[in-house]
């Protein structure tokens, strides 16, 4: 997604109108899904959403919780309360080295992490785009944490290539691709050079192979179109450690609209743009992504190695290997998760450039079952713009608390885009997200 300035003050009415007209034209022949609210709330945002922008995390919140520090306090429970740390949505978040965390469009989850001796300990792993270089050619960064507050930088674990010569001359790339031919190195450079799109990286640990598999949206222009989102593929890389380095395997088009259904963009089969990964309790993994020129969301099953689809697109069986969710809905930034109730949820945003918009959630009893529209999960002031965020991850803490994590994009300085975490709750089978200026993790 390309987004607006972080305060969302610019409504850009003409742009919105043009995009809406374009959407109406391109959706001809597809289900026109709630087009009226596609641009509802764009550019708005109450001051409460930005109250933390000049603050930094992690910071002890003694004064916020007690009013003052009392050196005479002896009660352990009361002392613990004084030294608690709060999540401050919108604050600048620093890693343990004091540097701003660069993990945009990212994902957070618990997974086994090996130490220097190879002994694995369960930690939180945060993977995301390092936006230091701007919009294109982003490296993929990884951070680890024991408590979700303090994040240790593990490095840029998947690096974009500066030049074709770098693959031959840089020891980092030489070691990774020593068994590759010159033609294969040409293709690697073509796919992940600094002028390509490397977005929304997601990571899974594969128990069978004891390795880590990275997926990301891989895109570029083509000979026919200079638009940077014309290749429309999913990139895959692997490593023996979440700290990398990750070796690029290739990029692929994915599942295609069945012949008996209406394809909203039949001229470009199998596109994969904004994407996410999900691993079920039985170890089966899925990739969810936007396709058909951002008009339709897909969920496709992965193979046992998590490196490709379980079935080639030409042979895939609908509702056994993949499914389309509400064709023509014009959604992106998908997040697939499974609630404590065993129900599957798919959250996404609309397609409005860098500007925030209204989120939606669909849910189903089975991943390839019948999905129902649950509407906007956000409630209260600024719910119509998802509290000026775009969805990228929903995760659960060790203690069982659910957290929504969204990006608040700053189009004029992408590296300074902020991370917004908010508690996610369930009202029956429905997802509910409310704005909180600060909260302590359970």
Q: Is residue 6 part of a domain?
A: no
Q: Is the pLDDT of residue 9 over 50?
A: no
pTM of the model: 0.89
Written as six digits, the tokens of 312 are 């080639």
Token pair of 88, please? 């401050």
308/69: higher pLDDT: 308
Q: What is the mean pLDDT of residues 393-413?
A: 97
Within-domain flag for 148: yes
Bigger pLDDT: 82 vs 407? 407
Residue at 54 is within a domain: yes
What was the pLDDT predicted at 74?
Answer: 47
- Which range of 32-36, 37-41, 230-234 scores highest in mean pLDDT? It is 230-234
Angle at 341 between CA 336 and CA 346, to 5 degrees: 20
Q: How many CB atoms lie within 10 A of CB 242?
A: 24
- pLDDT over 80 at 27, yes or no: no
Give the whole-angstrom CA distance, residue 358 versus residue 335.
14
The confidence score (pLDDT) of residue 95 equals: 97
pLDDT digits (tens, 9 = 90+) for 152-180: 999 999 999 999 999 999 999 999 999 99
Domain count, the chain: 1
Cβ distance 228 to 218 under 8 Å?
no
DSSP character at residue 52: T
Q: Count Cβ atoms within 10 A of the Cβ of residue 438 and give its class: 0-12 exposed, 13-18 middle, 19 or more buried.
A: middle
Q: Is 2 inside any structural domain?
A: no
For residue 39, is pLDDT > 70?
no
Report the candidate in 324, 268, 316, 312 with the shortest Cα–Cα distance to residue 292. 268
Q: Give the list of residues 6+ apart from residue 379 with CB closer than 8 angstroms, or none.
A: 432, 433, 434
Q: Which residues of 359-368 are buried (b: 16+ CB within 10 A; e: fewer)?
A: bbbbbbeebb
Give the percent of the chain with pLDDT over 90: 82
**Per-residue model confidence (pLDDT) at position 215:** 98
What is the pLDDT at residue 401? Answer: 98
For residue 363, being part of any structural domain is answered with yes
Cβ distance 304 to 284 under 8 Å? no
Q: 78: helix, coil or strand?
A: helix
Average predicted confidence (pLDDT) for the chain: 89
Question: pLDDT value at position 43?
Answer: 57
Between 14 and 183, the more confident residue is: 183
Q: How far apart are CA 368 and CA 324, in angstroms?
A: 9
Least confident of 55-59, 68-72, 86-90, 374-378: 68-72
Question: Residue 51 is part of a domain; what is its CATH number?
Answer: 2.115.10.20
pLDDT in the model for residue 171: 97
Among residues 321, 334, 241, which one has the least CA distance to residue 294?
334
CB 112 within 8 Å of CB 124: no
Q: Which of 390, 430, 442 is nearest to 411 (CA)?
A: 390
Contact 236, 249 (CB under 8 A): yes
- Residue 123 in domain: yes
pLDDT digit string (tens) for 304-339? 999 999 999 999 999 999 999 999 999 999 999 999
Evaluate if residue 6 carries a pLDDT over 90.
no
Q: 204 pLDDT exceeds 60?
A: yes
Residues 6+ away with beta carbon under 8 Å from 141: 102, 103, 127, 128, 129, 130, 153, 154, 155, 156, 157
pLDDT of residue 42: 59
Question: Is pLDDT at 69 greater than 70 in this prediction?
Answer: no
**pLDDT tens across 356-370, in order?**
999 999 999 999 999
Dihedrals phi, psi of 274, to nearest 5 degrees: -50, 130
Q: Which residue has the tokens 């009392």?
A: 70
Instruction: Please report the DSSP string for 212-258 in residue order.
Output: EEEEEEEE---SS--STTSS-EEEEEEESSTTSPPEEEEEE------
Closest CA to 334 of 399, 238, 254: 254
Count CB neighbours of 433 within 10 A: 27
Q: What's the CA gap between 90 and 184, in Å, rounded? A: 42
Distance of alpha carbon 33 from alpha carbon 23, whole angstroms: 11
Residue (of 230, 202, 162) closest to 394 by Cα position: 202
Sheet containing strand 285-291, edge to edge, reads 275-279, 285-291, 296-301, 322-325
Return the number of other C-beta atoms located less than 10 Å from residue 247's C-beta. Answer: 18
CB 138 within 8 A of CB 129: yes
Q: Is the pLDDT of residue 40 over 80?
A: no
Of residues 27 and 99, more confidence is placed in: 99
Q: Is pLDDT of 236 > 90?
A: yes
Domain assignment present for residue 440? The answer is no
Say yes or no to pLDDT of 70 above 50: no
pLDDT value at residue 353: 86
Q: Is residue 186 in some structural domain? A: yes
pLDDT tens digit string along 102-158? 999 999 999 999 998 999 999 999 999 999 999 999 999 999 999 999 999 999 999
Which residues form the domain of 326? 13-434
């Amino acid at each position: 997604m390309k987004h607006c300035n972080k305060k969302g003050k610019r409504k850009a009415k003409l742009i919105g109108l043009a995009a809406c007209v374009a959407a109406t034209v391109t959706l001809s022949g597809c289900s026109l899904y709630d087009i009226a609210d596609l641009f509802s709330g764009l550019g708005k945002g109450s001051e409460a959403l930005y109250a933390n922008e000049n603050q930094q995390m992690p910071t002890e919140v003694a004064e916020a919780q007690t009013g003052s520090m009392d050196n005479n306090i002896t009660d352990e429970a009361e002392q613990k309360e004084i030294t608690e740390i709060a999540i401050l949505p919108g604050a600048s978040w620093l890693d343990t080295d004091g540097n701003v965390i660069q993990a945009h469009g990212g994902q957070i989850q618990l997974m086994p992490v090996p130490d220097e001796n190879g002994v694995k300990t369960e930690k939180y792993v945060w993977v995301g785009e390092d936006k230091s270089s701007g919009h294109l050619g982003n490296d993929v960064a990884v951070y680890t944490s024991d408590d979700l507050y303090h994040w240790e930088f593990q490095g840029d674990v998947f690096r974009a290539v500066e030049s074709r010569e770098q693959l031959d001359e840089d020891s980092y790339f030489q070691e990774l691709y020593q068994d590759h031919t010159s033609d294969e190195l040409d293709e690697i450079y073509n796919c992940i050079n600094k002028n390509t799109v490397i977005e929304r990286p997601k990571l899974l640990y594969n128990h069978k192979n004891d390795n880590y598999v990275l997926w990301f949206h891989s895109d570029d222009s083509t000979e026919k179109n200079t638009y940077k989102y014309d290749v429309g593929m999913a990139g895959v890389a692997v490593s023996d450690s979440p700290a990398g380095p990750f070796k690029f395997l290739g990029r692929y088009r994915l599942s295609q609209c069945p012949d008996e259904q209406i394809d909203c963009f039949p001229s470009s089969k199998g596109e994969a743009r904004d994407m996410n990964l999900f691993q079920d309790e039985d170890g089966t993994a899925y990739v969810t992504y936007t396709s058909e020129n951002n008009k339709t969301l897909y969920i496709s099953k992965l193979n046992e190695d998590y490196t490709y689809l379980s079935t080639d697109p030409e042979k895939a069986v609908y509702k056994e290997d993949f499914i389309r969710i509400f064709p023509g809905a014009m959604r992106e930034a998908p997040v697939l998760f499974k609630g404590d109730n065993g129900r599957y949820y798919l959250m996404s945003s609309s397609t409005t450039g860098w500007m925030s918009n209204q989120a939606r959630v669909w849910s189903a009893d089975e991943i390839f079952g019948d999905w129902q529209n649950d509407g906007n999960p956000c409630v209260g002031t600024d719910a119509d713009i998802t509290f000026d965020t775009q969805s990228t991850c929903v995760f659960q803490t060790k203690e069982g608390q659910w957290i929504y994590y969204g990006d608040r994009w700053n189009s004029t300085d992408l590296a300074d885009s902020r991370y917004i975490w908010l508690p996610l709750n369930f009202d029956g089978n429905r997802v509910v997200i409310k704005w909180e200026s600060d909260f302590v993790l359970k």
